[in-house]
Structure formats: structure tokens, C-alpha cells
Amino acid sequence: MEFSVLMSVYHKEHPEYLKASLESMLSQTLLPAEIIMVEDGPLTPELYSVLDDFEKKCPLLKRVPLAENMGLGKALNAGLEACSYELVARMDTDDIAMPERFARQVSEFEKDSELGLLGSHVTEFEGTPENVTARKLVPVTEEEVRRYARRRNPFNHPTVMFRKEAVLEAGGYLHAMWCEDYFLWARMLAKGCRARNIDESLLYFRAGSDVYMRRGGWKYVKSLVSFKWKLYRLGISGLGDFLYSAGVHAAVGLMPNKLRAMVYGKLLRK
């Protein structure tokens, strides 16, 4: 069962992280048929150098250059159009896929023709994958995914593999600041898409203090509360779910950075 890998890179990313991420694609026990790399606006010479070098040794790489930075959601929509295969795996350019990731996921799609969306847990690290800091667990069964989605994102975005048709039927990635992926999963679930997670970590997720810093401040809180209201209007969550999750996220989002990092690191990770 052939599949595409969908990635996006922009000018602020680290060349060494991009290189490690791409190398992990070639270390898979089951290789993709193509790697779609969206260049979200002009890149730095160092990033172009990594892509040029990889392209020379890997004919699987297909580059989709955008004239200006569009943001992750629009960039992924452009990349999705370029994907040649019905099965598409997402991958971020600063993470590292474990060797069995694609083989495990494709096997699940081969066994279940109605499966539309599949993710996994992640192992978080700082510096190198050997320096593991935590595991971010997600719900496994479809019932658990739907229940969890009422208040929190039930998927680790860079781990997902999905059917292109199911994503397009849900409207693709739409604007929801910091929540484009969650909004997509919610709309897919609302349309009856079958979705679950593999009960394993299949990806090394690069984490650091900046991750928690981005999840704070009034702008973040206002955007998140607005998104939670969208979930309620969509029918994914109830009014109680909206009030609870919006309140909790607002409280955590307005905490000092160090305290917020402690909440995420101690209470929301294993």
C-alpha cells in the first residue's frame, strides 16, 4: 500500500533538525512512495542546502515552493494537493520518526478499509533522542478518541496518517490559530470518520521550554476560547465541556511561563 509523506518547512527552522527528520524517513522499514516538502515562503541558504543535498540522494523528495509564508494550515493544504496517493502521513521537520512507524500504520489501514485517521503516542526529547524527557499519551480506541476530543486534542499531529479523501471531505485545514489540526480532526469526527491511535510511541517529538512559552498570553487564551466555542457549535462538545476546558486552558495560559511548564511537564505528561 503506497503512501505520501506531507511536510512543511519555513525560514525559522533549524537546518540540523530538518536533516535529522529527513534522514528518519529513509530509515523506515517501509519507505514512502514520495515525500512532499512544502517550502512555506523563501528559506535560508542553510535550509535550501539541506533540501538540495537530500534531493540529490533521494528521488522521493518533491518540493512545493510557495512565494510567501502562508502559515502551516495553508501550506499543508497546498502540499495535500500535490500528494499522489490516497494514504498520507504527516511529519514535522524537527521531529524524528521511529523506524517502524510507517509499517505499523500502513498495516492498520490495510486491516481496516474504513479507517480514516490514525496516530500514536510520542516520546518527547531535548537535544538528542537519547535524552527522553516525557511521553505524551493520547486516547487509543475510537470511543476514547471521541470522548477525549470534547475537551482536548486527541491526536499528536506529526504522528497522524490519514486518507486524503477523508481530509478533503472535512474541508482540509481551516484557520483556527494554534489549533488547525485539532479543528480538522473535530470536523472529520463530526462527519463520522473512523479514527484511533496506536498504543505505542512511534515518533520522537522535539520539546523544550519554548513549547510552553507559545501556549500562554492573552492572545493565545482568546484564540483558544474562541476555538473551544467552535467545537461546541460543531457538536463535538457540550456546554459543560466548553465551560470546563475553556476555563482550564485560560487559567493555564495566563500562568507565568515556569509554572505553566511545570503543569504541562508534571500533570499532562508521563
Closest CA to 153 of 163, 143, 161, 145: 145
C-alpha cell at 34: 514520495
Q: Are residues 254 and 134 in the same domain?
A: no
Q: Are residues 29 and 121 in the same domain?
A: yes
Q: Write down the pLDDT at residue 219.
A: 82
Q: Are residues 151 and 59 in the same domain?
A: yes
Q: Are residues 171 and 240 in the same domain?
A: no
Residue 268's pLDDT band, with cuts at 50, 70 and 90, is low
Residue 256's pLDDT band, with cuts at 50, 70 and 90, is confident
pLDDT tens digits, one per residue of 187-246: 999 999 999 999 999 999 998 656 655 666 778 888 899 999 999 999 999 999 999 999
Q: Are residues 136 and 270 in the same domain?
A: no
Q: Are residues 217 and 203 in the same domain?
A: no
SS3 label, residue 170: coil
Residue 264's pLDDT band, with cuts at 50, 70 and 90, is low
Mark which of 179, 207, 235 sits at the end of a domain: 207
Q: Are residues 259 and 241 in the same domain?
A: yes
Q: Are residues 235 and 246 in the same domain?
A: yes
Asked which of 32-36, 39-43, 137-141, 252-256 is least confident by mean pLDDT, the reply is: 252-256
Q: Are residues 246 and 256 in the same domain?
A: yes
Q: Write down the pLDDT at residue 265.
A: 61
10 Å Cβ neighbour count for 251?
Answer: 12
Residue 7's pLDDT band, with cuts at 50, 70 and 90, is very high
CA dihedral sign, ordered 18, 21, 24, 63: negative
**What is the pLDDT averaged over residues 9-32?**
97
What are the φ/ψ torsions at residue 158 (nearest 5 degrees)? -70, 0
- What single letter denotes the amino acid at residue 204? Y
Q: Write down the pLDDT at residue 178.
A: 86
Residue 179 has pLDDT above 90, yes or no: yes
- CA–CA distance, 130 with 123 (Å, rounded to integer): 10
Q: Are residues 257 and 188 in the same domain?
A: no
Reading phi first (left if > 0) and then psi (alpha if -120 to 50, else beta), residue 41 is in: left
Q: Are residues 133 and 244 in the same domain?
A: no
**What is the pLDDT averaged over residues 165-192?**
96
Mark which of 188, 207, 226 sits at the end of a domain: 207
C-alpha cell at 133: 524527557
Q: Are residues 188 and 262 in the same domain?
A: no
Mark which of 175, 207, 239 sits at the end of a domain: 207
Q: How far is CA 121 from CA 52, 69, 264, 267, in A?
A: 32, 30, 16, 16
Residue 110 has pLDDT above 80, yes or no: yes
CATH code of residue 197: 3.90.550.10
If one counts the domains in the chain, the total is 2
Q: E strands along the chain, which residues?
A: 3-9, 34-39, 61-65, 87-90, 96-97, 115-125, 132-136, 161-163, 194-206
Name the residue range of residue 234's domain. Answer: 209-270
- CA–CA distance, 186 with 234 (Å, rounded to integer): 8
Closest CA to 196 of 204, 181, 185, 180: 185
